[in-house]
Structures are given as structure tokens and as C-alpha cells.
Amino acid sequence: MVRLTFGHSTQRQCSDQLSLEQAQADNHSAEYSQLSEQLQAYAEGVAVDFADTTLDLRTMTPFRLRATKACRNVLYGQTISYAELARRAGSPQAARAAGNVMSKNPIAIIVPCHRIIGSANSLGGFSAPDGIRMKRRLLDMEAGERVFT
């Protein structure tokens, strides 16, 4: 897994976003089918653990890799601050850098950057389509609130 995109209004917007990345994927693999089912369950409000999803993290800097791994350990329905993420990544003074890593996360949901919030419980940012509103909807869904009618 190199890239995941969601929240687009049209299939064309989704395709355009994915074409920005030149990664090639075998869409017929068993792993892809399992991931597709897991993402569907997640979208329906099921607490899914994506820990076994294989990610290609080889191009990440050491800090980005540590922050990404620390983010993957934040469980469904939980949130932590950017400062706490930096601490868990081994760099307690690097909250802004942790936020920067999350803002460039190409695998949202699998790397649940929406669970990382500001230290005063502000939402911070979110780079997916619909931005902060999407982040709020994901957090509300994980908290057990109905977000789609």
C-alpha cells in the first residue's frame, strides 16, 4: 500500500488524485480484496484494525517513519495530541514536525492521522477532501455517533 484516497465527489476526482502518484498496484491480489472489505466495514462504522496492512514506507525519513508507526498505534475511537505523537516518536519537542508528517500522510485511515489533534482538543488540520469536516465526521463515527443519513 502506497496511497489511499477517499471523500471525493466523483470518480474522476478520485482518479485524478491517484494519478498524482505513479505507484502501480495489483488490484486483483488477495490482500487488496481483504483491504477493500476492511475499508468498507470501516466506512460502515465497524472498528477495523489495519495493523496487518502492508505499507511501503521505504522512502520515509527516520522521524517520519517513527511518527507514522506511532500514529498506527492510536486505536479506533482514541485521539492523541501532536505533542504526544512526537513524544511517542522519540522526539518530544517536535510537535510541529509531527503535524507536518501527518499533513503529508498518503495513506489516511490506514495510518489514522485523523486521530491526531491539537493539544487544546482543536482538530488541527486534515488534508483529505472536505478537510476538517471530514476529520470531524471520522472522529464522530469512531465515537459511535451517526454521521451519515
Which residues are identified as catalytic? 113
| E strands, the chain, in order | 80-81, 116-117
89 vs 27: CA distance, rounded Å: 32
From residue 23, how far is each of 2, 3, 19, 123 by CA, in Å? 7, 8, 9, 30
Nearest to 89 by CA among 67, 60, 119, 61: 67
User: Which distant-in-sequence residues (6+ apart) come within 8 Å of 95 by Cβ?
Assistant: 81, 82, 83, 85, 86, 119
Q: How many CB atoms lie within 10 A of CB 23?
A: 10
